[in-house]
Structure formats: structure tokens, C-alpha cells
Chain A
Amino acid sequence: DTGVSQDPRHKITKRGQNVTFRCDPISEHNRLYWYRQTLGQGPEFLTYFQNEAQLEKSRLLSDRFSAERPKGSFSTLEIQRTEQGDSAMYLCASSSSTAPDTQYFGPGTRLTVL
């Protein structure tokens, strides 16, 4: 396994459009996390899954955002009616429940909303 992968790496969209990102975690990891990073800031937590269950959501995750992990493997993050303020790097990470402190990150999806 080569690590966490994310697709696409870059996405440019117009304001008001919907976008969906995909994350494939390290195969033996049952925890999956989504973070958002803007310029000059560290990653900010959005939500996380243990297997297919979404266990925690940040207040940053407005009702325009939805995340799923239907089979406990890959996950998708959808943003509806995008706004310019949604422009950021969206990072996915995974870890095992036996070592939750070590989260391994993917390369991220850079979203630009015009």
C-alpha cells in the first residue's frame, strides 16, 4: 500500500457549483479524517469516521458540507453551492484505532472557487 490517496489533486469551480472529493485511506486503517487548510494556517479538523460511522463533526462543517464512508473504505466529501470562502486545501488522513495518535495524510485536494 502506497499511503493515503486523494482525487482530484486540483479542482477549479464556479461559485454555486457542487464539488465532490474522494479519499482512499491506507487499507488496514479503520479511521478516516477530513481536514481543511487555508493559507498561513494549520489543518483544521472537519470530521472523522471509524469504519462507516461518522463519529464527530466540527462546527466548521456547515450544512453545505457532507461526508460519507459507505463501506468503511474510501470516503467522499461533497460541498454544495460552493462559495469563494470554501477555497482551501482539503486534506484526508487515516489511522488505526489501536494507534489513533498517528494520522497519515494524503496529498490533499486544492479547491479554487471563482
Chain B
Amino acid sequence: DQQVKQNSPSLSVQEGRISILNCDYTNSMFDYFLWYKKYPAEGPTFLISISSIKDKNEDGRFTVFLNKSAKHLSLHIVPSQPGDSAVYFCALGGSQGNLIFGKGTKLSVKP
């Protein structure tokens, strides 16, 4: 039973345009939501997070949106750069401490 779904395995975007990565979840019990970026042969790198009491958090080119009623999380990257090409994971966390990850979306930003 998959609690976190990233339905797009891959996404291709032109440099300078907006990248939108999506994530849906089934359980409303989570307290915070995170996005991680992963390059091959490296561990995931924390990007940005949002708590369940907010609906938007922005950090430079990265903005995370949370729609609790739709149980939907998205990450916007604007403008996209070739160095953003990586696999992006959404992750959900609660009071237990562990994170539950989606399967990831591979983003390719073309020059």
C-alpha cells in the first residue's frame, strides 16, 4: 500500500522554464513534507520543507506548495537550470521520526 505517490517517473524541461514536480499522499496524519534531490551514487540532499500548518514555502528558486484538502504537494523550480537535473523525491514525516518517500521523478533540464 503506497502512501506517497509520484506519478511521473520522468520530466523534461527547457532551461529557463519552470519545472513542476508533483506528489500525492493518502494519509492525513503527517506533520511535515519535504523534497530531496538525488544525484547518482550520492545520498539524497535536502532541498526544502513545509509544515502541515502552511500552504507555501519559498527558498530562492524553489517553492513548495501544500494542498491538504487535495492531499497534494508540489515543488516548483524557476528558472530551471541544467544543474537541477537529478531525481527528486518527496517525503512525508510525522511524530514517529521516520520519513516516507515516494519513488522519485527524474528531472532533465535541457540547455
Query: Which residues of A are in contact with B by a Cβ distance under 8 Å?
Result: 4, 6, 31, 33, 35, 40-45, 48, 50, 55-56, 58, 91, 93, 100-108
Nearest residue, chain B, Cβ from A46: B98
Main secondary structure of the interface of B (DSSP, over half): strand
Given A42-B91, A42-B103: A33 touches B98 (CB 8 Å cut-off): yes
Which residue in A58, A91, A105, A107 is a CB contact (below 8 Å) of B98?
A58
What residues of chain A lie closer than 8 Å to B98, measured between beta carbons?
A: 33, 45, 48, 56, 58
Q: How large is the interface on B (under 10, 10 to 19, 20 to 34, 35 or more residues)?
A: 20 to 34
Contact assessment for A105 and B96 in the assembled complex, using a CB-CB cutoff below 8 Å: no
What residues of chain B lie closer than 8 Å to A102, measured between beta carbons?
A: 34, 46, 49
Nearest residue, chain A, Cβ from B32: A101
A10 vs B49: C-alpha distance in the bound complex, in angstroms?
A: 30
What residues of chain B lie closer than 8 Å to A106, measured between beta carbons?
A: 43
Which residue in B45, B51, B104 is a CB contact (below 8 Å) of A105?
B45
A99 vs B28: C-alpha distance in the bound complex, in angstroms?
A: 21
Contact assessment for B97 and A108 in the assembled complex, using a CB-CB cutoff below 8 Å: no
What residues of chain B lie closer than 8 Å to A101, measured between beta carbons?
A: 31-32, 34, 49, 51, 93
What residues of chain B lie closer than 8 Å to A33, measured between beta carbons?
A: 97-99
Apart from A42-B104, A43-B89, 13 more pairs, CB < 8 Å? A42-B91, A42-B102, A45-B99, A45-B100, A48-B97, A50-B97, A56-B97, A100-B97, A103-B46, A105-B44, A105-B45, A107-B41, A108-B42
Chain A's nearest CB lies how many Å from the CB of B29?
Answer: 14
Q: Is the CB of B25 closer than 8 A to any CB of chain A?
A: no
What residues of chain A lie closer than 8 Å to B89, measured between beta carbons?
A: 42-43
Tell me which of A6, A91, A103, A106 has the highest count of chain B C-beta atoms within 10 A of its own C-beta. Answer: A103
Contact assessment for B103 and A107 in the assembled complex, using a CB-CB cutoff below 8 Å: no
